[in-house]
Amino acid sequence: MKTNLLIEQHFHGAFGVDFNKAEVDDVLRLSKECLKHGIGGIFPTIVTDSLENTKRAISVIKEAKALQTSDMAKILGVHLEGIFLNPVKKGIHNPDRFLPLTVENYKLIEDDFIKIVTLAPELDKGLIEYLTSKGVKVQAGHCIGGDLTGCCGVTHTFNAMSGVSHRGTSTALSALIQDDLYTEIIADGVHVSDDALKLLFKSKPNDKVLLVSDCLPCTKSGLKEFTFADELVFYDGERATSKEGTLAGSTQLLPDIIKRLAKVGLMQEQFIENPYKYHSIEPFGEIDWDNYWNILEVKS
């Protein structure tokens, strides 16, 4: 079985590399390792940080993009997951660094390489309209509102948002019933139960599901303890959490998640093609899989 290379649009790091802290050589090394695992394109994802560090991280990622070679996963743009979130659903993020959702605040870190912004729509003060006018994908995440007007998608559906309710509206409910919205999902078996995955897959059109890893620097590394989003994070071999037990992100790469989905009978080939459509990316490269979704060969 052959498919296009994987596109990873929610990806904080791996192989010991954290995009918020990385230098150019770190990003290049990571992108080379990614391609070996069948990941042909990445949107490095920046977690909530100071404005200074956010701008530095974006600059480093852009510089790495300019130095990439053909044996690396293509850096396709930055996913900004931070600063414009709702403290009620902060997750691992540091709410002391959150800012009001205004155009003026966004311009403090604005860069044309930011392609996706995760934000809390219920707190919007004109930012959604501005981002849309600039061609940036707006995704609802770390939020509680059910009105997702202006959003293209939803960030890690079910996680860090108001859940499905039989009364009123909620973020997760809107994500499930609005067919035009793309929905990220972390299908690692830790962030979302298989029953919740079945609910999403039954509710959404197949071409609106975006598999993401949301993976952390400890993925495919020897890290057991590290600082992420101003929090000390502990990795026990399965979960990466704060001292209080808050999940910090996934510890599996996308191909590992795909293999797990296949094992429980929930994987569909369409899921691999969806990010290409979402971001209007022309297909490139190829993966040859066996019948159990193990990668046999990667061609870039």
E strand or H helix that includes residue 64:
helix 51-66
Non-local (6+) Cβ contacts of 75 within 8 A are 27, 31, 41, 42, 43, 44, 61, 64, 65, 68
Average pLDDT over residues 127-140: 98
What was the pLDDT predicted at 223?
Answer: 96
Cα separation values, 176 from 148, 165, 205, 225, Å = 12, 11, 10, 35
54-89 pLDDT, tens digit each: 999 999 999 999 999 999 999 999 999 999 999 999
- Residue identified by tokens 């962030």 is 191
Average pLDDT over residues 261-290: 97
Q: Which CATH homologous superfamily contains domain 2-85+95-108+182-299?
A: Metal-dependent hydrolases (3.20.20.140)
19: confidence class by pLDDT, cuts 50, 70, 90? very high
219-268 pLDDT, tens digit each: 999 999 999 999 999 999 999 999 999 999 999 999 999 999 999 999 99
170-215 pLDDT, tens digit each: 999 999 999 999 999 999 999 999 999 999 999 999 999 999 999 9
What was the pLDDT predicted at 186?
Answer: 98
What was the pLDDT predicted at 79?
Answer: 98
What was the pLDDT predicted at 30?
Answer: 98
Share above pLDDT 90 across residues of the chain, in percent, rounded to a whole number: 98
Q: What are phi and psi of 255, to 5 degrees?
A: -65, -30
Average pLDDT over residues 281-293: 96
Query: In whole numbers, what is the pLDDT of the chain averaged over residues?
Result: 97
165 pLDDT exceeds 90?
no
C-alpha 171/C-alpha 169 separation (Å) is 7
